[in-house]
Amino acid sequence: MWVSAREYFAVELVQSALLSIPVMLLGAFAPPAAVSVFSIVSRLAMLINTMLVSIAMIAASGFAAHHRVGDYAALRRLARQTARVAAALCLPALAAMIVLIHPLLGLMASDAPGAAEAMYILAVAQLVNIALPTQDMMLAMTGHGAILRRMSLWQLAASCLGGMALIPAFGALG
């Protein structure tokens, strides 16, 4: 099991880091209240990511099965079908988060200045996630773990560099 999982260890570490690094970087440059609000907004936006991961996990065995027998037409069909399901489920949830951002933040006593703007920026990022909902799972289930690992490490590097450049200048909006 370790031999199979070892290839994806870096991918899982990167996914965990991408959730926490922006909050830690912000903590170095912003007051605690701003960090708290951004943390809440970030976790709210991650609900979409959780939905997408769940959808991809449901389709994972199909990706592997079609790839194993070389049925690439069925693999493409499944990828398109999964993308449609992801859009049908996640776009309304994301729209609700955007429209209801002030009441949602009010429930958490976090409707601070800048919170809604940070949510709007994170929502745009989630739109990209919704547009490419299963690409990581597709790579993992079709034997392309090395490509997934490289892409994840590039994503981590870009996020760290972007965060270091933008967060000091723009705070939570960076």
Asked if residue 130 lies in contact with residue 50, where contact means CB atoms within 8 angstroms, the answer is no
pLDDT, tens digit, 9 for 90 and up, residues 70-109: 999 999 999 999 999 999 999 999 999 889 888 888 877 6
Of residues 28 and 71, the one with the higher pLDDT is 71
Higher-confidence residue of 164 and 109: namely: 164
pLDDT value of residue 77:
95
Helix axes 32-68, 115-131, angle to 10 degrees: 10
Length of the chain: 174
Residue 61 CB neighbour total at 10 angstroms: 10
Average pLDDT for the chain: 86
SS3 73: helix
